[in-house]
Amino acid sequence: MKQMILIRQPRNCGKVFHANWLTAMMLLVLGTSLAGCASTAPSPSLSGPPSASFNAATAPIGPVTAEAAPGVPMASYDLERVTQLVQTDLSAAYPGRLVPASAAATPGEVKVDMTFTDYDAGNAFARAMLAGLGQIHINATVRLIDATTGNVAASYDISKTFAWGGIYGGSTTIEDVEKGFAKGVVAIFK
């Protein structure tokens, strides 16, 4: 005679599966919603009156340059990376308005000159431990220089700070925040 062994499924097995599935979905939605925080665009603020003839929404866009203000620890490769990122985002957003660097200056064209006043990568371990600690900061003054006269057509302050905590805060780098900063520069020309 053969013996059959019956294995009973616990009564709450379906409920446990449902609770785990629901928790996983909530974590997925939360993670997806937080993923864009480092790269969201800050709002540029006008730091002085623009010249009377300047219109950011129609101005041809010339070359992008960057420098660090005295005392701001920013390596040349950081400046090059941010400059290239801004240039790439501008060309994607306004392909018909970009003027090649080799071309002669056109009337109304502005050069984008960024001076970084704060560039701090913060501390990933501190961010992972507690939100608000080890913050990432990128601040700059963005001057739009008239390419024909050399005068400042408009000047903007752009500030991007990242302070999330936990795994998301600990794994976010200054390069991630630079993407949001670049979007802030692009927003000037809307």
- pLDDT score recorded for residue 171: 93
Rounded Cα–Cα distance for residues 178 and 92 (Å) = 16
As a whole number, mean pLDDT of residues 11-40 equals 56
- pLDDT score recorded for residue 7: 62
Classify 39-187 by CATH class: alpha beta
Rounded Cα–Cα distance for residues 93 and 183 (Å) = 10
Closest CA to 46 of 150, 161, 188, 183: 188
Which sequence spans correspond to the domains of the chain?
39-187
Q: Write down the mean pLDDT value for the chain.
A: 87
pLDDT in tens, 149-162: 999 999 999 999 99
Give the DSSP H or E segment for 127: helix 124-129
As a whole number, mean pLDDT of residues 14-23 equals 55
State the amino acid at position 124 in one-letter form: A
Rounded Cα–Cα distance for residues 133 and 171 (Å) = 14
More reliable by pLDDT, 126 or 106: 126
The C-alpha angle 90, 91, 92, rounded to 5 degrees, equals 90
pLDDT in tens, 54-64: 999 999 999 99
* pLDDT > 90 fraction of the chain, expressed in percent and rounded: 69
- Separate counts of helices (H) and strands (E) for the chain: 5, 5
As a whole number, mean pLDDT of residues 64-76 equals 97
- The answer to whether residues 132 and 163 touch, using CB atoms and an 8 Å cutoff, is yes
What letter would DSSP give residue 130?
S
Rounded Cα–Cα distance for residues 184 and 90 (Å) = 11
